[in-house]
């Protein structure tokens, strides 16, 4: 397609995106028209700049077919190389290097790391536990080995699982495990094992076949044992955060509380525990809610809130009147300029220059006015306090902290290294009085 089509784009557009849309020529034609993107072919059969686009759908289909044939030819060539025992990927498995299309053992510690990963797993360690061990020891990750620019510093459990399930480590070259659906889609699908290209003993093995099979069986057994209903969402999930690294805290069952996610996943060299017991946190929050309810019960507090509400309402009304006055004045000015344009006193260019700044100010003032009107339409602060007071009384009838109460009253909780907490409530009596 790229050899046959010259794309002249009035806006930047990735040619691959156009290829992807070619299966929908009508939709693409509409999209091109809306975004003012033009297509010009070398033979000038399609030239949307001159209105020649009626054959676009047919040509798009033809180009897609040619792209599919090219893709099939490339796949056939790669399959032929794979059957000859050549590695057709661009990135060799961790622990190997690619030399003249063949996999050879790397001359560093990565082969030993692979052996350790299999050994640790068969000894009973999980994916994340192995990842923490390698991170703590400073072992280079797969992304670091191949020199990725955005390579992370830490091993991930998913990387460990990929290594443990990679059949290349027994010396077999297993290729064609995935394929694209078609040239217009990036979606990949798994290929059945009987259709994969397998070359046994194509390179030096790192893991014995017995150990590899034992690993797969052990992994399948653990998967069945771990197949449980969806995990319970704990009371403070998505509310607790580490004060130092900002990572969410994770609930740990045997601790009956929460710890920093980075500490739990990567260990103490990344962050400390920042642990907090769930029951202790519940007690602190219930005490705070009761204290706030008592504060709101005081007549003096309610009186001050009502006075402050009345004062805020009067100020808002004055600002709304001022905004409405200015808006009307700008509209009158614009009407006058339109009359000058209609009478020929000023040109269209002069009209645009005169109204450009005025329009910007007018839109800004209208937005501000809508904001004030929206606030006025909602319940007043005093009414909100009365409603909050009723809600607090209702919740205080309960003997425990419920998820509904957490969602209604708590915005975020930060946990310090010593276990102390900083609770950000969605309300406080003092904040309401000083707002």
Q: Which residues, in sequence order, are bridge partners of residue 415?
A: 242, 421
Contact 323, 372 (CB under 8 A): yes
* DSSP, residue by residue, 345-405: SS-HHHHHHHHHHHHHHHHHHHHHHHHHHHHHHSPPHHHHHHHHHHHHHHHHTSSS--HHH
The reported pLDDT for the residue numbered 111 is: 93
Closest among 84, 93, 109, 130 to 204, alpha carbons compared: 93
Whether pLDDT at 390 is above 90: no
The reported pLDDT for the residue numbered 180 is: 65
Whether pLDDT at 366 is above 70: yes
Pinpoint the residues of the chain covered by CATH 3.90.1750.20.
96-225
CA–CA separation, 14 and 35 (whole Å): 14
With a CB cutoff of 8 Å and minimum separation 6, the contacts of 67 are 1, 19, 183
With a CB cutoff of 8 Å and minimum separation 6, the contacts of 395 are 289, 402, 404, 405, 408
Query: What is the pTM assigned to this prediction?
Result: 0.47
Quick check: helix, strand or coil at residue 99? strand
Q: Name the CATH code of domain 96-225 (choices 3.40.50.800, 3.40.50.740, 3.90.1750.20, 3.40.630.30).
A: 3.90.1750.20
Share of the chain above pLDDT 70, in %: 64
Which sign, positive or negative, has the C-alpha torsion 309, 313, 319, 320?
A: positive
Which sign, positive or negative, has the C-alpha torsion 119, 124, 127, 130?
A: negative
The reported pLDDT for the residue numbered 25 is: 45
Q: How confident is the model at residue 241 (pLDDT cuts 50, 70, 90)?
A: very high
CA distances from 204 to 48, 109, 110, 111, 369 (A): 58, 16, 14, 11, 75
Q: Which residues, in sequence order, are bridge partners of residue 251?
A: 258
The reported pLDDT for the residue numbered 410 is: 87
The DSSP symbol for 108 reads S
Mean pLDDT of 333-341: 83
Contact 1, 63 (CB under 8 A): yes
Give 79-120 pLDDT, tens digit per residue: 666 566 677 777 899 999 988 878 899 999 999 999 999 999
CA–CA separation, 139 and 16 (whole Å): 38
Closest among 416, 411, 409 to 290, alpha carbons compared: 409
Contact 240, 258 (CB under 8 A): yes
Residue-averaged pLDDT of the chain: 75
CA–CA separation, 158 and 118 (whole Å): 14
Mean pLDDT of 311-330: 83
C-beta pairs of 258-262 under 8 Å, 24+ apart in sequence: 258/234, 258/415, 260/415
With a CB cutoff of 8 Å and minimum separation 6, the contacts of 270 are 135, 154, 245, 262, 263
């Amino acid at each position: 397609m790229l050899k046959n089509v010259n794309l002249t784009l009035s806006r930047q557009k990735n040619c691959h995106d156009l290829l992807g849309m070619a299966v929908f020529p009508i939709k693409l034609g509409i999209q091109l028209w809306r975004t003012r993107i033009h297509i010009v072919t070398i033979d000038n059969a399609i030239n949307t700049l001159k209105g020649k686009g009626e054959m676009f759908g047919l040509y798009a289909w033809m180009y897609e077919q040619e792209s599919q044939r090219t893709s099939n030819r490339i796949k056939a060539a790669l399959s032929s190389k794979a059957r000859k025992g050549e590695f057709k990927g661009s990135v060799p498995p961790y622990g190997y290097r690619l030399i003249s299309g063949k996999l050879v053992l790397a001359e560093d510690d990565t082969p030993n790391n692979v052996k350790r990963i299999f050994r640790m797993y068969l000894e009973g360690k999980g994916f994340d536990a192995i990842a923490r061990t390698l991170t703590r020891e400073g072992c280079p990750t797969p992304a670091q080995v191949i020199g990725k620019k955005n390579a992370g510093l830490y091993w991930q459990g998913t990387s460990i699982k990929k290594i443990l399930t990679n059949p290349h480590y027994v010396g077999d070259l297993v290729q064609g495990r995935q394929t694209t659906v078609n040239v217009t889609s990036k979606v990949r699908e798994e290929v059945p094992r009987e259709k994969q290209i397998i070359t046994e003993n194509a390179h030096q093995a790192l893991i014995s076949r017995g150990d590899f099979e034992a690993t797969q069986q052990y992994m399948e057994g653990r998967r069945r044992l771990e197949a449980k209903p969806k995990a319970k969402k704990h009371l403070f999930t998505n509310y607790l955060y580490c004060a130092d690294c900002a990572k969410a805290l994770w609930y740990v069952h045997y601790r009956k509380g929460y710890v920093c996610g980075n500490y739990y996943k990567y260990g103490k060299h990344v962050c400390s525990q920042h642990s907090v017991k769930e029951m202790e946190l519940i007690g602190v929050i219930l005490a705070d809610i009761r204290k706030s309810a008592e504060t709101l019960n005081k007549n003096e507090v309610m009186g001050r809130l009502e006075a402050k509400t009345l004062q805020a309402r009067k100020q808002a009304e004055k600002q709304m009147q001022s905004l409405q006055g200015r808006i009307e004045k700008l509209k009158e000015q614009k009407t006058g300029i339109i009359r000058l344009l209609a009478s020929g006193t000023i040109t269209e260019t002069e009209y645009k220059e005169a109204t450009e700044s005025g329009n910007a100010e007018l839109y800004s003032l209208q937005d501000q006015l809508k904001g004030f009107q929206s606030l006025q339409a909602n319940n007043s602060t005093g009414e909100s306090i009365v409603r909050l007071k009723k809600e607090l009384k209702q919740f205080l009838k309960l003997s425990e902290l419920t998820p509904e109460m957490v969602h209604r009253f708590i915005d975020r909780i930060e946990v310090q290294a010593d276990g102390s907490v900083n609770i950000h409530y969605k309300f406080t009596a003092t904040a309401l009085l000083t707002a």
